């Protein structure tokens, strides 16, 4: 959820705990950064400042240098305005706007996209043997800005590689981009970079004019255009920087007004298809969006893949993580004496991971408000728990067309009479209802697998629809679809998910999936590759029930707008279905027709911490029906529901779970829902 930030200079500040942070960890981080050349640190979540720290000589009103973070703030944002207005095209030849390049056989090939992604082939103005002001030739003149740096960039910077083929960081390339955007905006009310930023970005965001400056405090006249430096020379208060990041997090929309067209706000922070940087020269260097850096291939380990950043020398940086509605701004100088290729590694080590750890280890309260339907959930006493299939666990379930429950067990010998050997994955079916039910092992060599724990495939979700059983199997790098059209006698192994979907589960309705809301099957999973690690969020996919085996037919929840889901065919554009940083592990979900609510069970760990969340729709909004950090039974996990074992009014259910001894079994516990 994105909440508009405060007006003008005011910005709501809340206690870190209210947004799930461990305040002590944030305070410790600030103390550490005080000894690592940091002037400012700002952390905002859900549009509210949760932590703000400044060195003794800084405060919220003091502008901070941004170095090459300006490329995103000053170079990138006006480009997005020009793209939104249709004044320029991302794949236009830059020579359309730069007359001097039209007769140059190499420069005439350069596109706007290539300038914005450091793949134009233009040389940089750096020379490691000199500081900027001492470099001889055109490169030094560029930094000395005499007579003006834009003319030097356009005229003197040579093309070293074929445009679009190699990543090559280029300050002159960003200068050329600024010139092109300025030329494209002639004849409008904002004909230069400064007026675009002022009137189209900063003032609408409530950023006062005194909170930012650009271009080393000067402008230049080139070819009759008023041009500014877009590669550096800017200063922004941390709050101003954070607001621009929040604008992109909100897809260009601010307090009901679309400042940047949603198409371009999204494109800016997604991989732009440009060449990937050499990550030996600079460790963990990210790929490019449009003038922003993106983590689409998870080069920043432990940071969500939807994260994007702008950054400059001295590790002046902003990190935005849309899936967590999180913005982090840091200003200062290099944080360690280590130089060379550790720019990004130090940001990860000193700033980004510690902030995420503070979030993931934060307060134990539920991440969503109390349910408007469920007042409480009570469980039968521990001594009334029924246990069968001793020493087998896992147990995803579905209600078959033949009125039996189909399930799968892991790391055991199944129901009594036990198998004579242990399986990593075996199949079973359950007849009857608690307390009088019986389990039967369903021997099917096509589905059975061996291997302990992580080393063996295991079922994570199962559903029957149209008489066909579909099974999600985890621990297969990442998970795999398996299906049976003869009630589990034979099984067919189908496509795999190799990105995310580490432990997927199906949404279940009634018998043979009767009562489904539509003609889709819905799949939920923690957003990570492993069932053994907690993620920050749960993602959601859907597919037509007639096309379950066609991987290309799957759609992924991107966002929910005014209660309506927006779906995308691109897995990399997946959004958040449920968020609880550091607490999303294995899941299960069923529709409780009696109370007309979807019940989502979320296991936070293997230690008995879990919750039940409810919603009127499969994609939320979610509310909390039950939440605990300790269920009181020791190490339990794998909390499962099935519609067959629900009363007609939806208030009495028998759930299944497993865990460590004595609950390493098919454990059945009665659960009672109390309505408001």
pLDDT tens string 137-191 = 999 999 999 889 999 999 999 999 999 999 999 999 999 999 999 999 999 999 9
pLDDT at 28 over 60: yes
Cα distance between residue 153 and residue 139, in whole Å: 9
Could you identify the residue written with the tokens 């409480």? 376
Cα distance between residue 291 and residue 400, in whole Å: 52
pLDDT at position 651: 98
The answer to whether 378 and 632 have CB atoms below 8 angstroms apart is no
pLDDT at 595 over 50: yes
pLDDT at position 5: 41
pLDDT at position 273: 95
Over residues 465-473, the mean pLDDT reads 98
pLDDT at 9 over 60: no
Q: How far is CA 546 from the centre of its chain?
A: 30
Over residues 510-533, the mean pLDDT reads 96
pLDDT at position 339: 57
SS3 614: strand
pLDDT at 375 over 90: yes
pLDDT at 281 over 90: no
Confidence of residue 235 (pLDDT cuts 50, 70, 90): very high
Portions of the chain given CATH number 3.40.710.10: 19-49+66-360
pLDDT at position 11: 84
Closest alpha carbon to 73 in 306, 311, 322, 239: 311
> Of 300-304, 488-492, 509-513, 641-645, where does mean pLDDT reach its minimum?
300-304
pLDDT at position 452: 83
User: What's the CATH number of domain 19-49+66-360, 3.40.50.10860, 3.40.710.10, 3.20.20.220, 3.40.50.300?
Assistant: 3.40.710.10
Q: With pLDDT > 90 as the criterion, what percentage of the chain qualifies?
A: 92
pLDDT at 327 over 90: yes
Portions of the chain given CATH number 2.115.10: 374-675
> Of 47-56, 198-207, 445-454, where does mean pLDDT reach its minimum?
445-454
Q: Three-state secondary structure along 408-420? A: EEEEECCCCCCCC
Continuous H helices in 61-111: 70, 77-84
The b/e string for 98-118 (b: 16+ C-beta within 10 A; e otherwise) is: beebeeeebbebbbbbbbbbb
SS3 305: coil
2 against 666, higher pLDDT = 666
Closest alpha carbon to 244 in 282, 214, 271: 214
Over residues 582-595, the mean pLDDT reads 96
Over residues 93-116, the mean pLDDT reads 98
Confidence of residue 132 (pLDDT cuts 50, 70, 90): very high
Domain 374-675 class?
A: mainly beta
State the average pLDDT for the chain. 95
DSSP characters for 500-565? S-SS-EEEE-SGGGTT-SSSEEEEEEESSS-TTS-EEEEEEEEEETT-TT-GGG-EEEEEEETTEE
pLDDT at position 363: 65
What is the pTM (predicted TM-score) of this model? 0.88
- Rounded to the nearest 10°, the torsion over CA 647, 651, 657, 660 is -140
């Amino acid at each position: 959820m994105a909440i508009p930030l405060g007006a003008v200079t005011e910005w709501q500040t809340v206690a870190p705990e209210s947004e799930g942070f461990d305040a002590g960890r944030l305070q410790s981080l600030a103390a550490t950064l005080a000894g690592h050349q940091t002037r400012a640190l700002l952390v905002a979540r859900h549009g509210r400042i949760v932590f703000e720290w400044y060195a003794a000589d800084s405060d919220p009103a003091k502008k901070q240098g941004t170095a090459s973070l300006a490329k995103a703030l000053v170079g990138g944002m006006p480009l997005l305005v020009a793209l939104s207005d249709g004044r320029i095209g991302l794949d236009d030849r830059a020579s359309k706007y730069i007359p001097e390049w039209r007769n140059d056989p190499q420069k005439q090939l350069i596109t706007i996209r290539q300038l914005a992604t450091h793949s134009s082939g233009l040389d940089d103005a750096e020379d490691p043997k000199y500081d900027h002001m001492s470099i001889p030739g055109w490169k030094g003149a560029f930094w000395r800005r005499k007579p003006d740096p834009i003319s030097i960039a356009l005229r003197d910077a040579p093309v070293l590689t074929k445009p679009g083929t190699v990543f090559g960081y280029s300050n002159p390339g960003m200068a050329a981009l600024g010139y092109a955007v300025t030329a494209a905006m002639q004849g409008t009310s904002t004909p230069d970079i400064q007026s675009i930023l002022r009137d189209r970005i900063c003032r609408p965001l409530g950023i006062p004019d005194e909170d930012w400056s650009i271009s080393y405090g000067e402008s230049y006249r080139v070819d009759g255009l008023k041009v500014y430096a877009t590669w550096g020379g800017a200063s922004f208060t941390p709050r101003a920087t954070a607001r621009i990041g929040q604008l992109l997090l909100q897809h260009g929309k601010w307090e009901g007004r679309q400042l940047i067209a949603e198409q371009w706000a999204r494109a800016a922070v997604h991989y732009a298809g440009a060449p990937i940087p050499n990550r030996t020269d600079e460790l963990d260097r990210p790929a490019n969006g449009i003038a922003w850096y993106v983590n689409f291939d998870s080069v920043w380990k432990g940071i969500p893949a939807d994260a994007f950043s702008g950054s400059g020398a001295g590790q002046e940086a902003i990190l935005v993580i849309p899936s967590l509605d999180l913005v982090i701004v840091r200003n200062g100088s290099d944080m360690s004496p280590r130089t060379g290729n550790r720019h990004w590694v130090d940001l990860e080590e000193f700033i980004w991971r510690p902030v995420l750890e503070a979030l993931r280890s934060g307060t134990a309260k539920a991440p969503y408000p109390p349910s408007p339907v469920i007042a409480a959930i009570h469980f039968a006493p521990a001594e009334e728990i029924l246990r069968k299939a001793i020493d087998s666990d896992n147990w995803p379930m579905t209600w078959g067309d033949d009125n039996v429950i189909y399930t799968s067990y892991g790391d055991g010998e199944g129901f009594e009479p036990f198998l004579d050997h242990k399986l990593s994955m075996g199949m079973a079916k359950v007849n009857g209802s608690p307390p009088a039910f019986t389990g039967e092992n369903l021997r099917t060599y096509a589905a059975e697998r061996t291997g302990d724990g992580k080393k063996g495939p295991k079922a994570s979700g199962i559903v029957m629809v149209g008489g066909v059983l579909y099974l999600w199997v985890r621990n297969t790098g990442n998970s795999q679809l398996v299906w049976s059209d003869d009630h589990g006698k034979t099984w067919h192994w189908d496509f795999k998910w190799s990105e995310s979907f580490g432990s997927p589960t199906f949404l279940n309705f009634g018998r043979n999936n009767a009562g489904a809301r539509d003609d889709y099957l819905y799949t939920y999973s923690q957003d990570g590759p492993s069932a053994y690690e907690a993620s920050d969020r749960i993602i959601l996919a859907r597919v037509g029930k007639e096309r379950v085996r066609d991987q290309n037919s799957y759609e992924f929840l991107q966002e929910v707008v005014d209660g309506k889901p927006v779906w995308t065919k691109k897995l990399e554009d997946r959004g958040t279905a449920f968020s609880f940083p550091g607490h999303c592990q294995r899941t299960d979900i069923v529709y409780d027709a009696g109370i007309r609510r979807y019940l989502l069970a979320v296991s936070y760990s293997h230690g008995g911490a879990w919750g039940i969340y409810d919603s009127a729709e499969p994609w939320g909004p979610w509310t909390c029906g039950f939440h605990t950090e300790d269920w009181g039974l020791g190490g339990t996990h794998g909390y499962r529901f099935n519609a067959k074992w629900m009363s007609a009014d939806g208030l009495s259910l028998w759930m299944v779970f497993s865990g460590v001894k004595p609950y390493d079994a098919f454990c059945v516990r009665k659960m009672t829902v109390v309505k408001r």
